[in-house]
């Protein structure tokens, strides 16, 4: 009886406290302590991918070697967010030269595709799925470019761990099983999908051993032939022929002629820290614009758990995303005033638009939806660090699975505008506006932090929140990601008939009902939407030691040695 009574008291304590335990250090909401290692660190959204990256580091590989190997694995193990049918962006800290390098490995629209085609078909927007939103997949060329410049191990060796897992199988994790299950109805009627993914009428379940021998064969070809194994020859012909058979425009020449670009990152200083993002066609500078505006306010005094801070952040986001809608596009096709957009003077002018007492109605891009993505970061014993993000856009992608190759092509082309006067207007050979963004932070010219937060239009908002959580609110690397997040979706936009109502504000449950009520009272439409708060990984360098953190909302892992 005594044991039962003690058990009941323990259960009651755990239930009423709101937590299953009380941490003896740090914030209660933290899922765990930071991971700390001296010789290297890997943080990815899948534990097996993290271990592959660690193995590469222990073999003497660079951070880039490990990042490529981990990304290859994620294409197999987390196909709901990325794969060789998608695009890639990366920021690399090179310890030898003490410089940052940026890589834009996003592919363009097929050269033969035009706005006139959609007009003839009576389409007012580019479809979300099928052959029409397919753009050239850039990730494989990105791996090649990264390895040529910063790799040390043999390129082919980086594929071997994933090829073995694809052939022999691996257990499906909980979050990925959830997203795979949701994908079945969307894609089950597309050619070749069921052959790869569906067994006995079901998608792979949590804990089930899944194999993808088709993908293993494709990876072997790329490992042996490099870039030519994917963008030329049999695989390229298979991709082009399949997309055209489905009514699309991707050609062999589109694939063979693609090359990713080295793109210098741009930065803005936030309270003594230089935050680095890649310039458009991605949305990274939106995070810099948000931070520039918020630097004019005393966020520390407001506090994380205040409606005052959440309101200010949301209003700032609306203003910045109006700029994003107007200016962000492929710089090879249009002039973008990047320096002006991320200037402190411009931020002060834009801050004047904010009403601290009332929610506004502001123009927004309007076309962006949540997209599933993966983010990973790696640091090595040589001092190199990599911030890498990769995606197929809408979950698994377009539904287009070239016969016998074991992967799906991205649907990133959906993000083009069909308005000829828009900077992001569709043109053949042009890269679409992109949501995925890696980030990096330096202090006094030295590396401080490599991080990213996957999740479509959530990403600039989450990037800014991570920085604010650490610098203004004093949270550590893990706590900064575990802290409850806010995400604003949509807002007013000009249409032919009406102005919309300023969008919706989703805030995680950790903020509490009282804050929700305060925000609603000043005009915010409050909504809780599962799965939109993103997925965070980060590595920090402090006093010669690496600190790692991984998202509590996903299946990921940070590990060092």
> In whole angstroms, what is the distance from residue 371 CA to residue 373 CA?
6
Distance between CA 70 and CA 388 in Å, rounded? 10
Tell me what percent of the chain is helix, strand and coil, each rounded to the nearest 5: 40, 20, 45
Domains and CATH numbers, the chain: 46-259+378-415 (no CATH), 266-369+454-560 (1.10.246.130)
* H or E segment to which residue 443 belongs: strand 439-443
Which residue(s) pair with 270 in the sheet? 273
Residue owning tokens 């599962």: 530
How large is the average pLDDT for residues 52-65?
A: 98
> How far from 342 is each of 324, 376, 476, CA to CA, in Å?
12, 26, 27
Strand duo 545-550 + 35-37: pairing: antiparallel
Among candidate residues 372, 367, 386, the one with its CA nearest the CA of residue 329: 367
Mean local confidence (pLDDT), 483-500: 60
CB-count burial class (<10 Å; 0-12, 13-18, 19+) for 495 = exposed
What pLDDT is recorded for position 274?
A: 98
As annotated, the active-site residues are: 373
pLDDT class for 519, splitting at 50, 70, 90?
very high
295-350 per-position pLDDT tens digit: 999 999 999 999 999 999 999 999 999 999 889 999 999 999 999 999 999 999 99
Residue in 449, 517, 450, 531 with CA at minimum distance from that of residue 489: 531
Nearest CA-CA partner of 193 in 485, 402, 337, 385: 402
Distance CA 408, CA 427 (A): 23
DSSP strand E in 296-346: where? none
Q: Has residue 517 got a pLDDT over 60?
A: yes
pLDDT of 418 > 80? The answer is yes
For residue 481, give the 3-state DSSP assignment: helix
Mean per-residue pLDDT, 205-216: 98
Q: What CA–CA distance (Å, rounded) separates 373 from 370?
A: 10
Question: Quick check: helix, strand or coil at residue 217?
Answer: helix
pLDDT at residue 494 in the model:
28
Asked if 145 and 260 touch (Cβ cutoff 8 Å), the reply is: yes
The per-residue pLDDT for range 154-208, each reduced to its tens digit, is 999 999 999 999 999 999 999 999 999 999 999 999 999 999 999 999 999 999 9
Looking at the chain, the whole-number percentage of residues with pLDDT higher than 70 is 92
């Amino acid at each position: 009886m005594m044991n039962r009574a003690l058990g009941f008291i323990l259960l009651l304590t755990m239930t009423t406290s709101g937590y299953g335990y009380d941490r003896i250090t740090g914030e209660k909401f933290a899922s765990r302590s930071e991971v700390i290692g001296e010789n290297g660190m890997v943080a990815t959204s899948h534990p097996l991918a993290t271990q592959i990256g660690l193995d590469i580091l222990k073999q003497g590989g660079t951070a880039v070697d490990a990042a490529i190997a981990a990304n290859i694995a994620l294409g197999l193990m987390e196909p709901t967010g990325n794969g060789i049918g998608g695009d890639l962006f990366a920021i690399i800290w090179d310890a030898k030269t003490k410089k940052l390098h940026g890589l834009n490995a996003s592919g363009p629209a097929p050269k033969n595709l035009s706005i006139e085609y959609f007009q003839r078909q009576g389409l007012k927007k580019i479809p979300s799925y099928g052959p029409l939103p397919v753009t050239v997949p850039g990730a494989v060329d990105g791996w090649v470019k990264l390895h040529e410049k910063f790799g040390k191990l043999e390129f082919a060796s980086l594929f071997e761990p994933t090829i073995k897992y694809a052939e022999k199988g691996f257990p499906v994790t909980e979050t990925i099983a959830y997203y795979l299950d949701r994908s079945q109805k969307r894609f089950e009627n597309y050619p070749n999908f069921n052959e790869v993914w569906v067994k006995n009428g079901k998608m792979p379940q949590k804990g089930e051993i899944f194999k993808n021998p088709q993908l293993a064969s494709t990876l072997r070809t790329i490992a042996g032939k490099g870039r030519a194994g994917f963008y030329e020859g049999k695989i390229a012909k298979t991709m082009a022929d399949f997309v055209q058979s489905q009514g699309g425009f991707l050609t062999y020449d589109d694939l063979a002629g693609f090359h990713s670009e080295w793109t210098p990152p741009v930065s803005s200083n936030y309270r003594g820290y230089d935050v680095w993002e890649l310039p458009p066609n991605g949305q990274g500078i939106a995070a810099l614009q948000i931070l520039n505006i918020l630097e004019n306010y005393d966020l520390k005094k407001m506090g994380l758990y205040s409606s005052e801070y959440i309101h200010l952040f949301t209003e700032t986001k609306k203003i910045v995303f109006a700029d994003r809608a107007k200016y962000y596009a492929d710089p090879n096709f249009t002039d973008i005033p990047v320096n002006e957009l991320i200037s402190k003077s411009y931020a002060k002018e834009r801050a004047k638009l904010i009403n601290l007492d009332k929610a506004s109605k502001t123009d927004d891009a309007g076309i962006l939806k949540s997209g599933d993505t993966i983010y990973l970061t790696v640091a090595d014993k040589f001092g190199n660090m990599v911030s890498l993000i990769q995606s197929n856009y809408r979950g698994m992608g377009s539904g287009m699975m070239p016969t016998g190759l074991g992967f799906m092509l991205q649907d990133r082309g959906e993000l083009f505008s069909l308005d000829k006067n828009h900077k992001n207007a569709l043109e053949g050979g042009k890269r679409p506006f992109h949501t995925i963004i890696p980030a990096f932070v330096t202090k006094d010219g030295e590396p401080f932090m490599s991080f990213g937060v996957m999740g479509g239009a959530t990403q600039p908002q989450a990037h800014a929140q991570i920085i604010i959580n650490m610098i203004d609110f004093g949270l550590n690397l893990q706590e900064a990601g575990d802290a409850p997040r806010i995400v604003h979706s949509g807002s007013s936009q000009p249409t032919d008939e009406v102005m919309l109502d300023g969008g919706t504000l989703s805030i995680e449950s950790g903020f509490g009902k009282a804050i929700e009520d305060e925000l609603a009272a000043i005009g915010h439409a409050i909504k809780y939407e599962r799965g939109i708060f993103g997925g965070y990984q980060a590595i920090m360098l402090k006093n010669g030691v690496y600190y790692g953190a991984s998202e509590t909302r996903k299946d990921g892992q940070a590990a060092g040695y």
